[in-house]
């Protein structure tokens, strides 16, 4: 299987455990690797046969901007579940970064994998 990726998807939301964090909006940044058989889309050259990264981006922007959380873990799990349940993606690696949360220029967050890597997946 192959990978469709989305890197650096910044979405404003309400994220944090402290009261002051619940009163502001700030960006989280998503990096996604999604298992997809790109051969079919390449053969047909039709978006209907592809994992449409525009559609994925629109859906995650809607979810994250409308529904915040206290923990980055909560948002990450929600996004991974949407990818698997609504887009039928068998395997996803998702990094959710909350930039600046512990200091200027420092990245913190979670990196999760969900689902089963299909046969013949890329290494790593």
Residue of 36, 93, 96, 98 marked active site: 98
| CB 16, min distance to ligand LV4SOB2L, A | 3
- Of the pair 16, 68, the CB lying nearest ligand LV4SOB2L is at 16
Give the C-alpha distances (Å, rounded to integers) separating 21 from 14, 18, 34, 71: 7, 5, 30, 11
- The residues of the shown chain that bind ligand LV4SOB2L, judged by CB under 6 A, are 16-18, 21, 71-73, 98, 101
Shortest gap between Cβ of 99 and ligand LV4SOB2L (angstroms)? 10
- State the Cα–Cα distance between residues 66 and 7, nearest whole angstrom: 21
**Among this protein's residues, is 98 annotated catalytic?**
yes
Is residue 117 within 8 Å of 91, Cβ to Cβ?
yes
**In the complex, least distance from residue 75 CB atom to ligand LV4SOB2L, rounded to whole angstroms:** 8
The continuous run of DSSP H or E covering 29 comes out as: strand 26-36
Contact 109, 72 (CB under 8 A): yes
From the list 33, 26, 30, 34, the residue with the least C-alpha distance to 9 is 30
Closest to ligand LV4SOB2L by CB, 24 vs 81, is: 24
The catalytic site residues sit at 98
């Amino acid at each position: 299987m192959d990978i469709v990726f989305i890197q650096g998807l910044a979405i404003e939301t309400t994220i944090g455990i402290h009261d002051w964090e619940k009163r502001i909006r700030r960006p989280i940044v998503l990096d996604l690797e999604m298992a997809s058989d790109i051969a079919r889309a390449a053969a047909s050259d039709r978006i209907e046969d592809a994992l449409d990264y525009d559609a994925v981006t629109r859906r995650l922007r809607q979810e994250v901007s409308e529904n915040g959380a206290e923990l980055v873990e909560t948002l990450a799990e929600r996004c991974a579940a949407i990818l698997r349940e609504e887009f039928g993606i068998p395997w996803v690696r998702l990094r959710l970064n909350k930039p600046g949360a512990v200091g200027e220029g420092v990245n913190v967050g979670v990196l999760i994998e969900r689902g089963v890597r299909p046969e013949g997946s890329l290494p790593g």
